[in-house]
Structure 1
Amino acid sequence: MIDPDRIARYERLVASNSNFELKGKNMLFTSVNGYMFSQLNKAGELGIRLSKEDGEEFIKTYQSSLFKSYGAVMRGYVVLPDSMLDNTALAAKFLQKSYEFVLSLPPK
Structure 2
Amino acid sequence: MATVTPLFHISELAENSAKGLEVNQRKLFAVSSQGKVYLYENSCPHKGVPLEWLPDTFLDIEKQFIQCSTHGALFTIDQGLCIAGPCAGASLAPVACEIIDGQVCIRE
Q: Same fold (TM over 0.5)?
A: no
Question: Which structure's CA Rg is the greater one?
Answer: 2
* Structure with more of its chain in helix, by fraction: 1
* Structure with more of its chain in strand, by fraction: 2
Name the TM-score, length of structure 1 as normaliser.
0.28
